Amino acid sequence: MRALVQRVSEARVLVAGETVGAIGPGLLVLFCAEAGDGEAELAWMTKKIPALRIFEDGAGRMNLDLAASGGAVLAVSQFTLAADLTRGNRPGFSRAAAPDLAEDLYDRFCAGLRGSGFAVETGRFGAKMAVRLVNDGPTTLWLDTRETVRRP
């Protein structure tokens, strides 16, 4: 499972020109489920992302997590984060989870964040989306469970 996390002052996602999700300050999470992902990866991402201390405290230091900052989450499904670019110039997507599994994991990721008390807006799974954001910092982080979660 992969996620590109961006601290934003605002972000929105549009489908066919219509805003389907928008937040003010918080995190834009581009979320990608990969083949073989399951409970361990989902639990790690759901816990790790809101706990990231990447929001500024009163002294201007990155010291606050999402809850302390009062921020929200805009979660956008993005299978292209699973791209394999090792051969040629056209990306391969065989690492991406099948759409039914990917949608389930994405929905459960969003539900897990909501269940922890966070305001979560979303894109529309499988739709062609336009994402607009103001990256704050800029602060952008890459998370990959293959580097952190040990599978049994």
Whether the bond into 50 is cis, omega within 30 of 0: no
**In terms of DSSP bridges, do strands 72-77 and 120-122 run parallel, antiparallel, or are they unpaired?**
parallel
| Active-site annotation holds for 78 | yes
Among candidate residues 6, 46, 78, 122, the one labeled active-site is 78
Tokens of 118: 């966070």
Q: Which of 148, 146, 147, 137 is nearest to 5 (CA)?
A: 137
| Active-site annotation holds for 80 | yes
Contact 1, 136 (CB under 8 A): no
Q: Which of 151, 96, 103 is nearest to 127 (CA)?
A: 103
Which residues touch 89 (CB under 8 Å, ≥6 apart)?
none
| Residue 92: Cβ within 10 Å count | 13
| Active-site annotation holds for 79 | yes
> Hunting for tokens 């995190």 — which residue is that?
27
- The residues assigned a catalytic role are 78-80
